[in-house]
Amino acid sequence: MRKHGVIPALFLWNRLIYSFNASGLVFEVMLLYSEMTACGVGPNVFTVNVLVHSFVKVGNLSFALELLRSFGVKNIVDAVTYNTLIWGFCEQGLTYQGFGFLSEMVRKGIAFDAFSCNIVVKGFCGIGLVSYGEWVMYNLTTGGICKDVIGFNILIDGYCKSGDMNYAMELMDRMRREGLVPDIISYNTLINGFCKRGDFFMAKSLIDEILGSRRKKDFKILSGNGNQKEVEYGVVLEPNLITHTTLISAYCKQQVLEETLSLYEERMGNGILPDAITYSSIINGLCKHGKLDEAKMLMMEMERMGVDPNHVSYATLMDAFFKAGNSMDAFSLQSLMVVRGIVFDVVVYTILMDGLFKAGKPKDAENMFITLLKHKLVPNTVTYSTLIDGRCKLGDINGAESALEEMKEKKC
């Protein structure tokens, strides 16, 4: 178009800028914006919001703030612009600074909304100030912003992570009293919180509540033609994959294998198909109980069900095979990962290093460590411990000390 002297309209530029941003190409976003302005096309609020978002999501808050200031002078900013910047500050733990932008919005006559409130509340919960986040929500909603389920879910999650499950449950009751109906995220958050505490009774009772067997129903009475009928107030809740995966994973971590398998079979019978995370959790549970044949069969079943094993599935089974002295099957899994194009992470490389040392292949183990570094991966404490242990067992004390010094330098 431009070669023929036709300047694209603003909406076309915006569409391109948005697409580049969605693809994570931040440099190209600014390059395209520069070309747009060079063609004499000025930005609108949508353009500005995409530009600010592109820099916020890569952590470049100073440049995003500079954009807000420059476009703010021209009145080409709105609540979305500020919300994006507040989100960026909160994501980096700078919640107080993010909170300060609300005052600036008021001064400039830009109304903040429930999104602004929830972003700040989540920010305070993220830095461990859950009660302060609740205070912020209370004060902002008193000022006219409507409370919503999302805000309550953020607080419930915050209190669950801080271990205050009683208050988290109380918040869900308060939601109902204030005319809001908890959704599946509310329940999943609480289920996850109870599972992490090992309180499977409460977790299962919440699932029963979702299913309706022990759910407290909120309803209103409608009358007409002398008849009364109960109509459920709110939405019909159905447990989703996250609900079941949370409970199954928790059972596996507690090594309650029978309950895990029972729950798995029950969910399969109800037509709820597991995903890679669920399968990986059960494979992990089977491996911890030494049931490697069953774990191997489950991975085969996983593939028959059309679920592709991920690097966690392979790593779990590979590690178990190495520990059981079955290096042949472990190396077969490694070959499968390569053939299927599954990317190795630090955990996989560490497992292979450990397995190679145990299989009497120290040179291959050392080469695996070098390959890890070549792929720009950062070794962790377990990686260095594996390397040190392997070298010590070979009598290479100098090499072990060298790895220890390197580990200290990198503060692993």
The tens-digit pLDDT sequence of the chain (412 residues) is 555 567 889 999 999 999 999 988 888 999 999 999 999 999 999 999 999 999 999 999 999 999 999 998 888 999 999 999 999 999 999 999 999 999 999 899 999 899 999 999 999 999 999 999 999 999 998 877 888 999 999 999 999 999 999 999 999 999 999 999 899 999 999 999 999 888 988 988 898 888 773 444 444 433 344 433 333 444 567 777 788 788 888 887 777 777 788 877 877 777 777 888 889 989 988 998 889 999 999 999 999 989 999 999 999 999 999 999 999 999 999 999 999 999 899 999 999 999 999 999 999 999 999 999 999 898 999 999 999 999 999 999 999 999 999 888 877 6
The residue range of the domain holding 374 is 344-412
Residue 399 forms part of a structural domain: yes
Predicted confidence at residue 4, as pLDDT, reads 55
Residue 378 forms part of a structural domain: yes
Residue 325 forms part of a structural domain: no
Number of domains in the chain: 1
Residue with structure tokens 């069969």?
297
Residue with structure tokens 């090992």?
198
Q: How far apart, in whole angstroms, are the C-alpha atoms of residue 382 and residue 394?
A: 18
Residue 209 forms part of a structural domain: no
Q: Left (φ > 0), alpha (ψ -120 to 50) or beta: where does 72 sit?
A: alpha
Residue 355 forms part of a structural domain: yes
Residue 367 forms part of a structural domain: yes
Residue 398 forms part of a structural domain: yes
Q: 3-class DSSP state for residue 43?
A: coil
Q: What DSSP letter does each residue of 331-398 carry, written as one string?
A: HHHHHHHHHTTPPP-HHHHHHHHHHHHHTT-HHHHHHHHHHHHHTTPPP-HHHHHHHHHHHHHTT-HH
Residue 385 forms part of a structural domain: yes
Predicted confidence at residue 251, as pLDDT, reads 80
